[in-house]
Chains A and B, each alone.
Chain A
Amino acid sequence: MSRLVGKSPALCTDLPLENSDILNKLHLLGQLLRSCFGPSGRLKHIHNNIGGQVVTTSTSSVLLPAIYSSTPFLNLILASIRNHVSRLGDCGLFAAILCVTLIEKVKQSGLRQNEAIRINKHLLGLCTTYLEDKECGCKVKLDFSSSHNLIKLVRNILCSKPATMLREYETLHISKLAVEAFLLTVPSNSNGVVTLGMTVIVPIEGLPVMESKVFPGLLVDVPVGFEDLEPRNQPCSPLRVVLFSTSLAGHLSEIGDGPIEVQYGTDMDSQILDQLLEIGKQVFKDNVKICVCQKVIHPVLQQFLRSHGVIVVERVGINLMQPLVQLTGAQPLATLHSTIPHKAYGQVGNVTLRQFGSKSMLHLYPAEESVICTTVLCHRNETILNELKVACQKTEHVLRLTLREPFALLGGGCTETHLAAYIRHQVRCDAAGSASVFGCLQTEYLLGVEAFCSSLESVAAALQHDSEDSLIDLTCAHHWTLPKDVTQEDMESCERKCGCGLIKMSQTKKWCHLNTKYPVFSPASLSPDVTVHADVLDSFTAKLNALQVAIETVNVVLDIRYTIQDVN
């Protein structure tokens, strides 16, 4: 059955940014993303049009891949944010909202596109230089001697994922676990190159969150008929482990495809099986206690090994092989004939059986200090467990990034407002000079700056979903949220804190609503010893990259003059 399919001509759009349909879609996308942002963000149900699994989420890494637009223009934006999220793990929504808002603001300001691109690039340069500067007022140096800041960093990531449905104390518990798991993967004695270990996440459905735990070593599924492992109470000498990466089921994969003539009365299978049993004998003779195979082990061999007291674990899969090698120090074997040298064996400290609800798993302890650990995550149902798993993977990623750059940024929208105030101040100093460099009028330049700063501020304002006001104070330029009916006197008397929890109400005198005109001032930075007390922290590396990616995406989008869509 064949049919010829005619090709239809491509769909062309000239000057897509002038197209009102596309602008409407862009606006809609902005609203969608803004509604998910922050700790009080609204959840989204995602399901496809033919039924199937329903996902509840507000996380960028789940949400963005699910959004597909028929407009290539929007897909370009989504794709670049997706790439950012897959590399850095965090701040996806921040980048997306900033990007969409800035495009809209530039469009509204009526700037020519090439000028807007140049101005954006210049302002981005100002931002990155300021953020990387030591004197930066919205940066906190992370102190690895105490885990407080790390826990705060993780907790902020978990808090901004409302779909995980964690209570306050549960969030703290998971944050502690995440930091503990991270610390376990960092080798304590390293010479030269540091190789981080890895955390294996085992999700378990139906148990309360507080049952989640971190174990050093690995948890593997218990082989069938092995639930009655006797607990070894006192840790004895390490157990010897052998690791096979080839199938021990009797395949000979490397033969080739020629014909084989078998004489009458010869059983080829039993010949192979004899060889397998030879291996079994050697393994037993060498006092091996655990035999792990990536693929399948022949049942006869399994039976033989078990009867000699060897724990047999088969079908562990390729994903667990790398951590198993790191944990045990064994060399994976794939030869059937040569005798196994002693150095090919690995070691585990102990083996116990662990019970999680109805699921039991075999726990392999490391023999010495190891960089492999397992996090068991428990939650009430599958949907929120998936969300929690994604959040935990993000925290691991973000914590690893802190090793490269041990900084964090103030969260709660304070970094955004602070940056905006800083840029307004910087620009006022030499507006005329910069404008002449770009070859544009000073008013045009100021328009570009206004678009940039107000989109940064509106990202901060997007954290607010209920009927509350977003404010900026006029000394440190931090972000504040207040209920609608609060008067100036109330503000001075009550004990509220700013978005990141660094400043108290009593410390500042003047506020102004976000996205209204306020006098340009130089935002004061607090002394370094005070900054330690910030409650909400964001990853520095992720946010810096998000900022760069967002602005660069805006520049690419502004540069597009023509779209051609192949609709076949």
Chain B
Amino acid sequence: LSKVGSKHVLQTVCALEAVILRTFGPEGGQVLFTRDNGHSMLSRSGTRILTALRLDHPLARMMVECVWKHSGKTGDGSKSFILLVASLLRTIYTAASKDPNGSQVYNSREAAASAAARRLADQMLAFALEKLDDLIALSVTPYGLNLSAEVLTASAQSSSNSDGVHVETLLASFFRTRLGCAHCDFMGELVCKMLRHWSRKNDECSPSDKIGSFQRSSFLNDNFPALHTPLSGFPVTCSRLIEGQIIHRDYATHYHGNHQHPVKAVVFTMSLQPKWLNAGDMLEIGSGPHGKSIMHFSAWAESSLEHIFATLKTLGVSLLLSAVKQSEAVLTLATRAEMCVVECVDEDELALFLHLSGVTAVSDYRGIRPGHIASLAFCRPMLLGAHRYVHVGYPDSKGTQPCSVIICGLGEGQTDQYAGAVQDVIRTLRTTWEPLGASVISPGCVIPAGGTFEFLLHHALLQHGRSQQIIINLRILRLEYIFKKKKKRWDRWQKSLRKLRNAHHTPLRNIPQVDWERVSAVIECKRCSEVHLYVNNHVRKLSNSSEKRCSLLSTTSVNVAIVLPAQPHLRWTDAKWNRVLWSDESTFQLVLGSCGHCVLQAKEENNHLESYRSNVQKP
């Protein structure tokens, strides 16, 4: 079991490090991915690169999972995360192999080294948990600067606050490491302008208020998918802000261009003409004076629709936004009533629309009230590239200036990259301003980049008299760096370290009823790289007894176990599978002919009556 340890852990992490290193720092470059469906993706973001790799090794997957969780919260720091883990492991193993203490107790040198490594890691973890916070607060925080949100207010263009660092610097340096030197200033300015536009909303409270900034960036982060429009085929410098919101759908009706002012809009979440014959109901059709013709029902459905439009007309509505597709009859009646219809609007966009206009969606078309009616400054079609969208503007009230951003790029890969970077920078800002209850670090604290944090901490640790040297790759040359993000990274790193330790050592011995000798025998006969770890038990093939073992395992705190890859063992019997605990294959690809709709039908059923639907075609 000890073979899972040392060498392989290091190898795996170093392999990840090799990919990351090419993109690290301001002089780093991009990574070009081509997916199996032929789409290409460009990226310098550590998280995106790592998650796009198809990794086999369970340790590598676990690392990527940690990185993903970390950057999902902070928006940045994934590359340094990997570098930090790699250099830590390297240091630990080097130190452990030199450690002379263990040699009497353990049989082999490897076992001794691995035990020493584990001991070191334990010590480091304990140290990190107990003392690191204080150490950082004591020796690094004083060098930090306060991130001033002042530049975001409309009036304070001049740098009145000289000791604060402006958001612009932070943004530009972030984009420099994320998008390259060519467009970092441009994108930084663009995002700054965007923040400035949105910050006018909270003009009443203090503009540099950190809570306000935090809320604002949270709002932007949550609504970013609805706030940006990718546009490929143009140079990046064509990216721009645009007033109001872009709804990424075209008019379903012909746009006549003469809305009244203000434009009154209603949001529907259901079809205005629902199917009136449900599966549970029965429609009886007859003829003559007693029975009712089918057209009677159809006419009834249509007249109720007309009634809705009469109500809408009295309310002065001229724009209908719908989350679902509406019937042709709805479009006809809307055209007749000089209303425009936009169908199939995305949920996120509708939510943002409702938030910004301050109304609620109509869920029951019988009760349309004035409270459902939003008034807009304008509503017009907008041609962006190959698509025609609907551009809505909100009336100027309370200094609100909602705006969305059009992100141009050469291709889809590039617009995605830029949009991802913008969202990440917003997330980073949110993390910076996030208020923390009992933390030693105040919100808005940033530290000069370029390895300052690493140097300071290194120095502090040496001072502290501990011998674990945190040797950090000093190729970092960032200009600005966020302090608290680093703090978060530490926390994450501790967790992953804990996991790693669990993985390469044998905490599983405590579990009852597991025949460990047999399991290890199976493992021994395979190469270690084929030994897979698994967290969730997705595997169907596990038979009863092993499922029991799994549940046993999950009740204990350890959720890591070992099994062989399933593919070479397709023909295994249940008895054989009983000897196995888990498999790591989380996705099974079943190929059933060509993808798409298919009808399963026997050949002789071809002309069966049930295979037909009665429709009137040509008599």
Contact = CB atoms under 8 A, between A and B. Distances in A.
A40 interface: no
A273 B295 CA distance: 10
A559 B386 contact: no
A298 interface: yes
Contacts of B593: 1
Contact of B257 (A193, A257, A332): A193
B22 interface: yes
A15 B97 CA distance: 34
B294 A252 contact: yes
Given A256-B276, A564-B31, 20 more contacts: A12-B19, A76-B42, A76-B413, A79-B411, A80-B233, A86-B233, A117-B182, A121-B182, A253-B327, A256-B277, A257-B279, A262-B285, A263-B291, A269-B616, A332-B332, A337-B302, A549-B234, A556-B30, A559-B29, A566-B33
A7 interface: yes
A549 B414 CA distance: 12
A335 B333 contact: yes
A4 B568 CA distance: 11
Interface in A185-208: 193, 195
Interface in B457-512: none
19 contacts: A4-B570, A14-B22, A76-B40, A87-B234, A114-B181, A117-B182, A245-B332, A255-B298, A262-B286, A266-B286, A269-B616, A275-B298, A332-B331, A338-B303, A548-B234, A559-B30, A560-B29, A561-B22, A566-B35
Contacts of A322: 254
Contact of B329 (A12, A254, A271, A568): A254
A4 B588 contact: yes
Nearest to B286: A263
Interface centre among A257, A344, A560 (most CB of B within 10 A): A560
B370 interface: no
B478 to A, nearest CB: 16
Nearest to B285: A262
A332 B36 CA distance: 44
Interface in A52-87: 72-73, 75-76, 79-80, 82-84, 86-87
Contact of A263 (B275, B284, B306): B284
Contacts of B294: 252, 260, 268, 271-272
A245 B331 CA distance: 10
B618 interface: yes
Rank and list the top 8 A-B pairs by shortest CB-CB distance, nearest first. Answer: A256-B275, A561-B29, A334-B328, A80-B410, A87-B233, A83-B233, A250-B616, A256-B277
Contacts of B293: 271
B275 A257 contact: yes
A568 B283 contact: no
Nearest to B44: A559
B290 to A, nearest CB: 9
Nearest to A558: B29
Contact of B283 (A258, A326, A549): A258
Interface in A99-145: 113-114, 117-118, 121
Contacts of A259: 282-283
B23 A561 contact: yes
Contact of B299 (A7, A88, A258, A337): A337
Interface of A: 1-7, 9-10, 12, 14, 16, 72-73, 75-76, 79-80, 82-84, 86-88, 113-114, 117-118, 121, 193, 195, 245-246, 249-263, 265-269, 271-275, 298-300, 322, 325-326, 331-338, 341, 343-344, 545, 548-549, 552-553, 555-556, 559-568
Nearest to A11: B34
B619 A299 contact: yes
Contacts of B32: 16, 72-73, 76, 560, 562-564
A124 to B, nearest CB: 9
Interface in B584-600: 588-593
A15 B483 CA distance: 33
A564 B34 contact: yes
A268 B34 CA distance: 56
Contacts of B287: 263, 265-267, 271
Interface of B: 19, 22-23, 27-36, 40, 42, 52-54, 56, 180-182, 232-237, 254, 257, 273, 275-287, 291, 293-295, 297-299, 301-303, 306, 327-329, 331-333, 335-336, 380, 385-386, 410-414, 567, 570, 588-593, 615-619
Contact of B281 (A258, A265, A338): A258
**Interface residues of A: mostly helix, strand, loop or mixed?**
mixed
Contacts of A552: 182, 235-236, 410
Contacts of B235: 545, 548-549, 552
Contacts of B284: 260-261, 263
B603 to A, nearest CB: 16
A438 B619 CA distance: 79
A568 B35 CA distance: 8
B277 A560 contact: no
Contacts of B273: 254
A337 B303 contact: yes
Contacts of B33: 72, 563-566
A331 to B, nearest CB: 5
Nearest to B38: A75
Contacts of A271: 285, 287, 293-295
B303 A272 contact: no
Nearest to A121: B182
B413 A257 contact: no
A86 B589 contact: no
Contacts of B410: 79-80, 83-84, 549, 552-553, 556
A118 to B, nearest CB: 6
A4 B567 contact: yes
Contact of B291 (A266, A332, A561): A266
